[in-house]
């Protein structure tokens, strides 16, 4: 890699590292695993920097690389290994004063994301956090765009259920019947 390309790569990493790490944290639910997959992603970005920098949306391209790295890392890890920062960190969020606290408390979000399947979590993070299109997500995950829509629909329903500690007004109507 030439000095000018290396400087361009370093500027890109400095500008995008925090965002990529947050995406990895949302995808993995674990700080240490997120660090590992981000590092592995940056190594792959460096190795293919000429192709990455020519992409129409380099940031989206790198997020796709990250999603693929998360999936690959999960395949390599044994089924019984579940890394966490502290035991029980995602297990429960404790008592909250009201529903607005649940929205603010990131532990609820991480716990809810942890209940999703791997593909559902990837779709939600790539769509609503990394702002990739359905077509880009489909390409990144190697699935059809319709599959992305199905995963998104199921994931949003599961997240709504997991993040809703109180019955909705619709639930009260159905119970009274």
82 pLDDT exceeds 60? no
Of 61, 33, 35, whose CA–CA distance to 48 is shortest?
A: 61
Which of 56-60, 138-142, 161-165, 169-173 is least confident? 169-173
168 pLDDT exceeds 90? no
Domains of the chain: 1-86 (1.10.1740.10), 93-168 (1.10.10.10)
Supply the pLDDT for residue 166. 46
Of 26, 22, 165, whose CA–CA distance to 101 is shortest?
A: 165
Averaged confidence pLDDT in the chain: 80
157 pLDDT exceeds 80? yes
132 pLDDT exceeds 70? yes
139 pLDDT exceeds 90? no
Report the alpha-carbon distance of residue 2 to residue 105 in Å, rounded: 45
Instruction: Tell me the pLDDT tens digit for each residue of 83-117.
Output: 555 545 444 444 445 555 545 566 777 888 888 99
Mean pLDDT on 50-79? 85
Burial pattern 47-75, b for ≥16 Cβ within 10 A else e, equals eebeebeeeeebbbbbbbbbbbbbbebee
């Amino acid at each position: 890699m030439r000095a000018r390309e290396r400087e361009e790569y370093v500027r890109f990493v400095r500008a995008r590292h925090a965002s990529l790490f947050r995406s990895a944290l949302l995808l993995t639910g674990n700080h240490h695993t997120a660090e590992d997959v981000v590092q592995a992603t940056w190594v792959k970005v460096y190795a293919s920097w000429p192709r990455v920098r020519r992409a129409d949306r380099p940031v989206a391209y790198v997020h796709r690389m990250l999603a693929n790295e998360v999936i690959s890392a999960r395949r390599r890890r044994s089924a019984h290994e579940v890394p966490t920062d502290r035991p029980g960190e995602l297990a429960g969020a404790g008592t909250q004063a009201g529903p607005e606290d649940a929205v603010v408390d990131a532990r609820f979000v991480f716990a809810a994301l942890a209940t999703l399947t791997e593909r559902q979590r990837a779709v939600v993070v790539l769509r609503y956090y990394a702002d990739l299109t359905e077509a880009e997500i489909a390409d990144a995950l190697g699935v059809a765009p319709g599959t992305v829509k199905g995963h998104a629909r199921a994931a949003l329903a599961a997240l709504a259920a997991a993040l809703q500690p109180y019955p909705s007004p619709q639930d009260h109507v159905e119970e009274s019947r």
